Amino acid sequence: MERVRVNNNIPLIVDLDHTLINTDLLYESSMAVLKKSPWLIFLFPFWFAKGKGYLKEQLVKRFSIDTRTLPYIQETIDYITERKKQGSLIILATASHKDYAFEVAKHFQTQKNNETIIDNKQNLDFFASSTQTVKNKSINGSLFDDVMASNADYNLSSHNKAQKLVERFGKKQFDYMGDHMRDIPVWEVANLSILVNASDRVIKNTQHLNTLILSRKN
pLDDT over 70, % of the chain? 83
- Ordered structural domains, the chain, with CATH: 12-22+70-213 (3.40.50.1000), 25-62 (no CATH)
Q: CA-to-CA distance for 27 and 16, rounded, in angstroms? A: 13
pLDDT tens-digit profile of 148-187? 999 999 999 999 999 999 999 999 999 999 999 999 999 9
From the CB of residue 142, how many other CB atoms can be counted at a distance below 10 Å? 22
Residue 160 confidence (pLDDT): 96
- Residues 191-217: pLDDT tens digits? 999 999 999 999 999 999 999 999 998
Q: What is the pLDDT of residues 132-154, one digit of tens each?
A: 333 334 334 679 999 999 999 99
Query: pLDDT, tens digit, for every residue of 78-102?
Result: 999 999 999 999 999 999 999 999 9
Count the Cβ atoms, other than its own, within 10 Å of residue 118: 15
184-190 contact pairs (CB < 8 A, 24+): 184/158, 185/158, 185/159, 185/161, 186/13, 186/158, 186/161, 186/162, 187/211, 188/162, 189/162, 189/165, 190/13, 190/165
Which amino acid is it at 84?
A: K
